[in-house]
Structure 1
Amino acid sequence: MLYLLKSGKIVNTLRNYRKYHRWIGVFLSMFILISSLTGILLSWKKQSDLIQPPTQLVKQETNEPWLAIEEMEMIASRALKKHQPEIQNKIDRIDIRPGKGVAKVLFEQGYWEVQLDGYNGGVLSVERRYSDLIEQLHDGSFFGENFKLLAMNVLGTGLVVMVITGLVLWYCPKIVRKRKKHPFR
């Protein structure tokens, strides 16, 4: 840092930092834009039926037992097949909501969700769940796990560099102005 004691060296260093800051910013802008826009959409997923189907409510009976998972899988697969006969789809996961009496069965392809009554197996809804697509775009996993790992590391490292170079670009001109005003201090 001693070589920065002369104002001319500070100015030259700032020129380089501006160049790095600008090009890193241009490179990261698409990642930041996609991450920001999908983050905004995700914050609205519970308020928008288009992004994520609303959770159906079931009359809750505490002493009635829930269906077995295997039975839920079979009912949900039949419901999706009836709704979309051309689709051959495997179950990705089941989201159990005991407090609401609902099981959400999520499928691997097409972002399909079948909501079931956890007590009697009644099909409550068969709809697309676009929030999963938006989450995959948000974290980069839509393009594969290797891309996700690379993109998130590049984005994180790039943002750290942008903050550091931005702080240098903000603070160093103050030093230059002070040195020009008082050159012998």
Structure 2
Amino acid sequence: MSIDSTKRQKQARVLRDFRKVHRLTGALLFVFFFVISITGLLLGWKKHTGGLILAKTYTGTSTNLQDWLPVDSLTQNAFKAVKDSLGMDTTMLTLDRIDMRPDKGTVKFLFVEEYLGVQLDAATGKVLHLETRRADFIENLHDGSILDRIFGVDSGTLKVIYSTIMGVALLIFTITGFWLWYGPKRMKQGSSASLSPTTTVHRPARPLRGN
């Protein structure tokens, strides 16, 4: 068996192994790849959906911080707004974070439960908008942190595990996919080089001279 034939067999075996890994990775993680692609697309468009995914930031009456109400008063107004509008027990609400927008004169209160959000006029405490933070839900789906919410894990361990698995899987998927495209081309080039005829230069024979 020639050296070129042995080399081609090794390349073909590597190509088969890469194809098997690529197919297996795609089959096992198809649903996760699908979710990541769809949620990534939605997050990219969230500010251009007319408030369907991400509500616009409303404008308050004053951007001067000296005119703003104390944070504790605004917080009470936010809890009261949820209770009055949805009839929820405020003792069951968990405040996730407070987002202050000095350039808009607005303060946003974001709750853990049901991804609720309340926008208040920072100067008057008036409710500007009550929303469901769909963008936050989509982001939690995208990065896997929704698993921590479901199972009540505060450390974010499940998100790290999910991100690691999906990151490594995507890297493997990319490498094997590239080799499935490049490998056959490389084998074809090697075969063409080994089968190309060797050019031989023929010189005309010199006539024999007599003695």
Q: TM-score, normalised by structure 1?
A: 0.89
Q: Which residue of 2 aligns with 1:146?
A: 157
SS in 2 for 1:164: helix
Native 8 Å contact 1:58 1:117 kept in 2 = yes
**What is the CA distance between 1:65 and its match in structure 2?**
2.3
Structure 1, unmatched stretches of 5+, are: none
- Which amino acid counterpart does residue 39 of structure 2 have in structure 1? T
Which aligned pairs between 1:1-185 and structure 2 lie closer than 5 A? 6-48=7-49, 49-60=51-62, 62=64, 64-87=66-89, 88-144=92-148, 145-183=156-194
* Separation in structure 2 between the aligned mates of residue 72 and residue 123 of structure 1, nearest angstrom: 10
Structure 2, unmatched stretches of 5+, are: 149-155, 197-211
- Which amino acid counterpart does residue 92 of structure 1 have in structure 2? D
What percentage of aligned pairs have identical amino acids? 36
**Cα deviation code 1:100-120 (max 9, x no counterpart):** 000011111011111111111
Equivalent pairs counted in the alignment come to 184
The CA RMSD over aligned residues, in Å, is 2.3
Bigger Rg, structure 1 or 2: 2
SS in 2 for 1:21: helix
SS in 1 for 2:48: coil
**What is the CA distance between 1:51 and its match in structure 2?**
1.5
**Cα deviation code 1:131-170 (max 9, x no counterpart):** 1111111111111133321221111111111222222222
**Cα deviation code 1:10-50 (max 9, x no counterpart):** 11111111111111122232222111111111122223322
Native 8 Å contact 1:73 1:91 kept in 2 = no
- Which amino acid counterpart does residue 147 of structure 1 have in structure 2? L
Higher-RCO chain (CA-CA 8 Å, sequence separation at least 6): 1
Native 8 Å contact 2:117 2:130 kept in 1 = yes
Q: TM-score, normalised by structure 2?
A: 0.79
* Separation in structure 2 between the aligned mates of residue 97 and residue 176 of structure 1, nearest angstrom: 60
